[in-house]
Chain A
């Protein structure tokens, strides 16, 4: 009887632990997703601080995954935080209905909608049908990251001087998604260019 109670108890304890993994300051590594002040966060940096004759701390740099804000927080060494159920998933960007942008998981065909606050800066690189990365917290989108390189058409730029291939100087060009990037003078309206979304820099022309 007692043995079976212990077994049931043990099962429950294991099960609970399974559901809410928690991580001690010693396990804080860059990229680990944890809950802090009820928001999902990612550890950026974790520094062990200990005066020779004093209390040990961990000074942790954390990014709030909902707001993008980076904060520093000090913990007593050995304290722990609950893990956050955050995953990043490759999805297809479908369309913008004016209020929300819609994304689809290409394997399960599950669709997700995000408002502009969640999409943030990524919005200016998103073209219908392009793939991007959507971050989900408890299966709800909290952030969108465009592909590192996107190919987009120029809808507006000043006519440049033909024959200029130096690439120096440059001029602004507006792309079909609304982003504005600097391009070399020889690049013209209607041309398709490759852009690095991490820096917002022009990479090359794309021949159709």
Chain B
């Protein structure tokens, strides 16, 4: 494991930006400590020899089934939009993104 460069505030801010979560300055420094401790603890995996081991993404045993290529659901516009925080007609609305 690339022994992690110690987390600094810039890294915490960069991750938060990628995750689209706004953080205040105080939170950045608290999270730097908390995330650093968790990542440090995780580094114990360095002890494990994984040479020749294939990564395992899922333990599911089901094989993907084929089905007829037909429409099975739809025409649910009102149900889909029922929880919209803001809408106009049959559309979701967001702040203006093009000038």
The answer to whether A and B interact is no
